[in-house]
Every structure is written in structure tokens, then in C-alpha cells.
């Protein structure tokens, strides 16, 4: 994907919002797609009360169900999937109802997930708190997309209905298209799979086009998997060391590093039940908000292991600095060079956006 022009704040803005629309084009509402209600797919009653918040959600989180990539595109298959997910969430996870707010099948059938989510969406002023992404549940709508997209491509029918549902959500609640995220942006999980995750920039663009809104593409945290090697792992090992979780600094994401990293994920609430079909923990993954725990803001005068981690990353990105743990003038200048070439705000200090860029 082509590099985008960049705005202050380290956020990239696509040309679509500016150049793709006539001057003065107004934000427009997107038509409501057809969405089957919980009674349509014969959901069970919730076992407890549904929390309906008198506030609008501010973001959308995209998931995959991690179930087989079925060829059955029928509505009856889609309804059966919704019932299976609800059974699992209630009977195995012990939740009061389906976790996600909406479900999208490979045939493109959209369905209400947690009860009351559809009426809340139609009303446009309330949010049904689901159970799909930890602390984000109170501000994020969750959409489960049928299938496993770690390597398989996304069917056109599922894609089109995902675009319409997101566009409708954006219109109804005034959500920014740039605030469409993947589950892994918050939690240490594969979800929604590499393939669907990599298409999120395109999803934001399509939603921006459909709603007439400018698209600001967010930066994201990288996801480390067991066995990963290289400077990102070396940096993580140093960052863990800076927090007193000493692990061998060998650049390999092995068991000792995974154990220490997983303590950080748990501490940050970035480790939780994986999406429906996986039905297993995903040990050893490190991503999302867990990175925020280990990446302190750094600047002139900082020192120690966290600075060494930033130095390893800068060098790996072609901005050589000695790995001496000292944030002196040479380091300030390397950081400024990196920020300038990456389209980030040039401050000479390592902030959240710089860490995300260095780890990308
Ligand atoms: Zn998920």
C-alpha cells in the first residue's frame, strides 16, 4: 500500500477525504443495511440484564470468528452460526448473552449479536456494552466476521456487508472512519487474522467514501508471535528488563520472553478470551495495549535499558546510534531523522507514535 501524506500527530490522512470529494461536500448518511434481529435468528433470552449506555460508541472493533471458512452462504447457516456463538458465550464463557454487538456471515448476512444492539444502532444515541475487547467494550461496537483470515482471503459478500454495516454505524453515531480497529490493536491476539487486519486501511477508505468523511489512518502496534526473531524482540527483551522482568537478550521470542511478556499483557488487561472459534488461549502472543506498558516516553537525559531498546530499533531502521543507553545529542538527532523520514512529528523525543513507528 502506498505511503500516505501525514498530518501532525503522526497520523496519516488519505487523499480520498480531500481530493476524492467535491469541495464543500457534506458528510452524508449511509443507508441502513438489512440486519436480522435476535428474534429472527431465534436467539435465547439473555441470562442477565443487558447494559445499555446513554452514550455513543466512539469506535468499531473488527473480529473474525476463527471458525471454518464455510462455503455455505445461506441465511440459515448464518443464523445457525449466531446460535452457536451465543451458546458458547453463555454456556462456556459464562456471559449473559452473545459477546459481540453484530455478526456478519461469509454469505454477507448481517445479524444482531447481543440483544438490544440493533435498536440502539437504529436510535443512534445509545450503546449496548458487549463482551469482546476488554476495557474497550464500553466505547466500542464489536463485529464478528465469520471465518478465519490468518491466510485465507475475505469473500466479497462478507466484505461488502462489512463496509455497509461500518458505514451505517459511522453515520448513526458520528464515529470517525479512522476509528475502525482490529481486535489485535488492543489485545494480544491474532484476531481478526493477518489478511483481514491488513485490509482495515481499505475498509476505512471505503467507509470514508460512503459517508463523505475524511479518513485519518491510525498507527498501530506490531504483533509478536512465538519464535519471532530480530530487533523488535531484542527491544522487547530490553524493555522487559527495564521493568525488572529480566530475560535473555538474544533477539528470539522464546519461552522465557513469552512468559515475561504475558505477565505484561495480563497486567494491562490485554489478554482475554480469544474469539469464538479458537476456543483456546493464544499464549505467547504480544501486541496491542500491552506495548504501552513497556514503552515509556523518552527524551534528552533519559537513560537505561529503555533507551538501549530505542537505540537498537533506530539502528535497525537505518538510523545508526551506539547502543549505550544514553539519550544524548547524537540520539536526539537520530530520533529527529527517523521522525522526519517516517512522517511523524519531529520532536527528538520518543513518544507513543515513535515507538509504534520504530516497531512497525
Ligand atoms: Zn476478536
137 with 56, same domain: the answer is yes
For the chain, what is the domain count? Answer: 2
What is each CA distance from 113 to 140, 156, 180, 246, in whole angstroms? 14, 22, 18, 43
Q: 319 C-alpha to center of ligand 1: Å?
A: 36
Q: 61 C-alpha to center of ligand 1: Å?
A: 8
Mean pLDDT of 138-160: 97
What is each CA distance from 228 to 150, 232, 325, in whole angstroms? 16, 9, 24
182 with 141, same domain: the answer is yes
296 with 202, same domain: the answer is no
Q: 245 C-alpha to center of ligand 1: Å?
A: 28
> In the structure, what pLDDT confidence band is assigned to residue 31 with cuts at 50, 70 and 90?
confident
Q: 48 C-alpha to center of ligand 1: Å?
A: 23
pLDDT tens digits for range 300-332: 999 999 999 999 999 999 999 999 999 999 999
The pTM for the full model equals 0.90
249 with 203, same domain: the answer is no
209 with 88, same domain: the answer is yes
Domain containing 147: what range?
6-217
190 with 244, same domain: the answer is no
**Is 336 within a domain?**
yes
Q: 190 C-alpha to center of ligand 1: Å?
A: 8
The rounded distance, in Å, linking the Cα atoms of 197 and 199 is 5
Q: 183 C-alpha to center of ligand 1: Å?
A: 5
Q: 64 C-alpha to center of ligand 1: Å?
A: 6
pLDDT reported for residue 8: 39
Q: 332 C-alpha to center of ligand 1: Å?
A: 38
> Of 160, 188, 217, which closes a domain?
217
Amino acid at each position: 500500500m502506498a505511503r500516505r501524506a501525514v498530518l501532525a500527530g503522526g497520523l496519516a490522512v488519505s487523499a480520498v477525504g480531500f481530493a476524492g470529494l467535491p469541495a464543500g461536500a457534506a458528510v452524508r448518511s449511509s443507508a441502513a443495511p438489512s440486519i436480522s434481529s435476535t428474534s429472527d435468528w431465534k436467539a435465547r433470552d439473555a441470562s442477565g440484564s443487558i447494559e445499555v449506555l446513554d452514550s455513543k460508541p466512539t469506535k468499531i472493533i473488527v473480529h473474525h470468528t476463527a471458525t471454518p471458512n464455510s462455503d455455505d452462504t445461506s441465511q440459515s447457516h448464518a443464523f445457525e452460526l449466531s446460535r452457536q456463538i451465543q451458546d458458547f458465550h453463555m454456556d462456556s464463557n459464562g456471559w449473559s448473552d452473545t459477546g459481540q454487538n453484530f455478526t456478519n456471515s461469509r454469505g454477507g448476512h448481517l445479524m444482531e449479536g447481543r440483544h438490544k444492539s440493533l435498536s440502539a444502532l437504529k436510535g443512534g444515541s445509545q450503546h449496548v456494552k458487549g463482551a469482546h475487547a476488554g476495557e474497550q467494550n464500553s466505547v466500542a461496537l464489536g463485529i464478528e466476521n465469520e471465518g478465519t483470515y490468518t491466510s485465507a482471503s475475505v469473500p466479497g459478500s462478507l466484505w461488502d456487508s462489512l463496509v455497509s454495516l461500518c458505514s451505517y454505524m459511522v453515520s448513526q453515531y458520528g464515529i470517525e472512519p479512522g476509528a475502525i480497529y482490529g481486535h489485535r490493536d488492543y489485545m494480544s491476539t491474532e484476531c481478526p487474522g493477518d489478511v483481514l487486519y491488513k485490509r482495515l486501511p481499505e475498509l476505512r477508505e471505503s467507509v470514508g467514501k460512503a459517508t463523505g468523511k475524511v479518513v485519518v489512518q491510525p498507527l498501530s502496534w506490531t504483533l509478536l508471535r512465538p519464535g519471532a526473531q530480530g530487533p523488535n524482540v531484542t527491544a522487547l527483551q530490553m524493555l522487559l528488563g527495564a521493568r525488572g522482568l529480566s530475560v535473555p537478550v538474544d533477539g528470539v521470542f522464546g519461552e522465557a520472553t513469552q512468559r515475561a511478556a504475558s505477565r505484561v499483557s495480563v497486567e494491562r488487561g490485554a489478554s482475554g478470551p480469544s474469539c469464538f472459534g479458537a476456543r483456546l488461549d493464544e499464549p505467547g502472543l504480544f501486541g496491542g495495549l500491552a506495548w504501552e506498558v513497556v514503552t515509556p516516553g523518552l527524551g534528552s537525559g533519559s537513560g537505561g535499558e529503555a533507551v538501549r531498546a530505542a537505540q537498537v530499533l533506530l539502528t535497525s531502521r537505518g538510523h545508526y546510534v551506539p547502543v549505550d543507553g544514553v539519550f544524548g545529542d547524537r540520539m536526539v538527532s537520530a530520533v529527529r531523522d527517523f521522525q522526519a523520514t517516517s512522517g511523524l512529528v519531529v520532536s527528538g523525543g520518543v513518544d507513543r507514535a515513535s515507538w509504534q513507528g520504530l516497531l512497525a
